[in-house]
Amino acid sequence: MKHIKANKNTLIRWKVYIDRAKMYVGYIQFFMICLVLLETYRETNLGSWIFDNLVVSIPLIILLLLATALVVGRLDTIWGLREEELRNSAVSNPVTRDILSNLQEINNQLKKLKE
């Protein structure tokens, strides 16, 4: 039986692959949630119209979802939520902390040289 050699770099690479796949799985989950939501409205007047006019309603739903996603993305950009999340994540990253510490040291040394 052949053993899989899993060193630290291999495990990190696998984690990156899994994280990338999660994004695509998220798209599929979003699509499935939309289908479930539509199915719950099937017996209503709106649902009847949607399912009776799929040629019209599906493009309208897609346009509505895209417009909503753009608005939410724009609001996130304006409010800076993602940037703050990334900043908090970077602060907890030891490599980033070392880089910031080194930059502060370099800046302090430059100030001393200018004096």
Summarised one tens digit per residue, pLDDT across range 31-55 is: 899 889 888 988 999 888 988 998 9
At residue 29, the pLDDT reads 92
Q: How far apart are the first and last CA of the chain?
A: 67
- For residue 4, name the pLDDT band (cuts at 50, 70, 90): low
Q: Cα separations (Å) of 109 from 95, 97, 99, 102, 106?
A: 21, 18, 15, 11, 5
Residue 5 is predicted with a pLDDT of 66
Q: What is the pLDDT of residues 75-113, one digit of tens each?
A: 998 998 888 888 888 778 888 888 888 999 999 999 888
How many domains is the chain built from? 1
Q: Distance (Å, rounded) from C-alpha 69 to C-alpha 34? A: 13
Which residues make Cβ contacts (< 8 Å) with residue 50, sequence separation at least 6? 38, 41, 57, 61
Q: Domain span at residue 36?
A: 1-40
Question: Residue 91's pLDDT is what?
Answer: 77
What's residue 25's pLDDT? 92
Domain annotation covers residue 56: no
34 part of a folded domain: yes
pLDDT greater than 70 at residue 9: yes
